[in-house]
Structure 1
Amino acid sequence: MTHLLDGQTALVTGASGGIGRAIARRLAEEGAAVALHCRTAVTAAHETAAAIGDRATVVQGDLSDEQTCHRIVREAAAWGGGRLTALVNNAAVQPVQPLPGMTAADWRTVVDTNLTSVFACTQAAAELMRTQPDGGTITHIASIEATHPAPGHAHYSASKAAVVMHARAAALEYGPSGIRVNTVSPGLIDREGLEEAWPEGVRRWQEAVPTGRLGSPEDVANAVVFLASPLASWITGHNLVVDGGVSARPTW
């Protein structure tokens, strides 16, 4: 039985959390060998790798450091026999903090994790992919907040808007080397305890979204699999919105 990603080696950053874990699992289900990155949640990453089996490994490091980004890409490629065909830039932080009173240090913490790491990991992966006959794919996980900001998320929304534009710029410059770069922008994705922690927000979302539900990590993972697969061989520089249609709702 053939799979969409047979023969591929992928690196997923931030793979110990809900969305990252689902992405790693779906990539593996479609035939890819997967390196799961984590920063501090080592146990969770190893548990996911163990569930996948011998086609998974764990790499660890703080992606706010440029050299660490390059190191984990090298480690993932070395584990994959010298090849890396897919990178998924998923690692991110999403603190809630009002813009008045936000310090430059607060801003940099979010931007370095959400954006600078994307730049550094992409650059490192592309340098390797451009030497491969079949190139590779790079997928950034952005957010619908890239175009629809939320209160308390100025740094997060700005970082995700920049991630979308980075993908378009990278698609332009790396395309001649056979590298496709896209983004996936999720809407509100369900997680354990979300409804209890934010009942009003969940209620408003469910009333607004045309499909009538929150997203699941698997919804995002399926989009990533598609973009990394031959089915998307002529898609690059695209922002694939996965939000149940909520962005289509009128705002007036």
Structure 2
Amino acid sequence: MFTTLSGLSVVVTGASKGIGKGIARVFADAGAHVLITGRSAADLEAAVADIGGRTSHLPADVSSRADCDRVAATALERHGGIDVLCANAGVFPSARLEDIGADDLAAVMGTNLNGTVFSVQACLDALTASGRGRVVVTSSITGPFTGYPGWSHYAASKAAQLGFVRTASLELAPRGITVNAVLPGNIATEGIADLGPGYVEAMTASIPQGRLGSPADIGHAAAFFATLEAGFITGQTLVVDGGQVLPESTQALAAMAG
């Protein structure tokens, strides 16, 4: 059995919907005090009502260092500290390489990469004071392991997060803070549904387990990294994808049926 997460102070960015909301729900169900952030106050209010437990919200844009500082200050005010930061906020607009403009690239990197760095910087003192600080970054299999047309800027940002995780884990180890990443495959979220039934069907067919993941699957992985038992794990990545990155080709999947 793992030690309880009850009473911990947890910040989850980008948690009004999708994976972030799933992460927040797992921690809330475990009895943690959870502060969720996102850009839409209305979506955050709906998420808090749905998640329940000791969950509250604060509208914030992680691409703004000032907003990240405000999130950290709010968590300190409401919870008395910060034990776990789940740097989850991310965007994934689709654009072919030849069509990506400077503003498009800046927007993706601003949220996915800069937002991760800013969030950690803002929470750093509180995570240190915790004595058992945990940073869990939501990266992706897209970029570090796979590619998909239209997401070269997204893939670059997700691979960049892992470079940050490895070096930040070295710098923060003396502070007693671990830094790890969860790499989701295709997860059944509103964003995936927006890509259409054809995409969902094709992605499901590419996963050996024969299903998309759930936001809770990612939440449980994040919760593991937050446990005391995971305290000697840092700078690592955990792929949560139902085996999607394993087959050499579609022929390997077909051979499973034989």
**2:203 and 2:183 mapped to 1: Cα distance?**
16
TM-score (norm 1): 0.92
Q: Which residue is equivalent to 2:87?
A: 89
Cα distance change of structure 1 residues 192 and 100 upon mapping to structure 2, 3 Å threshold: closer
Alpha-carbon shift at residue 195 of structure 1 (Å): 5.6
The answer on 1:146 being equivalent to 2:147 is: no
Q: Which residue is equivalent to 2:23?
A: 23
**2:191 and 2:124 mapped to 1: Cα distance?**
38
Alpha-carbon shift at residue 127 of structure 1 (Å): 2.2
What runs of 5+ residues in structure 1 fail to find an aligned partner?
Answer: none
Contact 1:38 1:59 in 2 (8 A): yes
**1:88 and 1:8 mapped to 2: Cα distance?**
13
The answer on 1:112 being equivalent to 2:88 is: no
Contact 1:98 1:153 in 2 (8 A): yes
**1:59 and 1:90 mapped to 2: Cα distance?**
15
Cα distance change of structure 1 residues 197 and 7 upon mapping to structure 2, 3 Å threshold: closer
Aligned residues: 248
**2:219 and 2:180 mapped to 1: Cα distance?**
14
Percent identity among equivalent residues? 37
**2:86 and 2:98 mapped to 1: Cα distance?**
33
**1:168 and 1:188 mapped to 2: Cα distance?**
24
**2:156 and 2:194 mapped to 1: Cα distance?**
28
**52-61 vs 153-162, which deviates more?**
52-61
Cα distance change of structure 1 residues 45 and 167 upon mapping to structure 2, 3 Å threshold: same
TM-score (norm 2): 0.90
SS at structure 2 position matched to 1:146: coil
Could you tell me which amino acid in structure 2 is paired with residue 25 of structure 1?
Answer: R
Q: 1:167 aligns with which of 155, 165, 168?
A: 165
SS at structure 1 position matched to 2:94: coil
Alpha-carbon shift at residue 135 of structure 1 (Å): 3.1
Q: Which residue is equivalent to 1:223?
A: 221
Q: Which residue is equivalent to 1:43?
A: 42
Q: What's the RMSD between the two structures over aligned residues?
A: 1.9
Alpha-carbon shift at residue 31 of structure 1 (Å): 1.8
Contact 1:184 1:242 in 2 (8 A): yes
Alpha-carbon shift at residue 202 of structure 1 (Å): 2.4
**1:54 and 1:18 mapped to 2: Cα distance?**
18
What runs of 5+ residues in structure 2 fail to find an aligned partner?
Answer: 251-258
SS at structure 2 position matched to 1:77: helix
SS at structure 1 position matched to 2:159: helix
Alpha-carbon shift at residue 6 of structure 1 (Å): 1.8
Contact 1:10 1:33 in 2 (8 A): yes
Cα deviation 1:177-218 (Å, max 9, x = unaligned): 000010101001113585684333323322221111111111
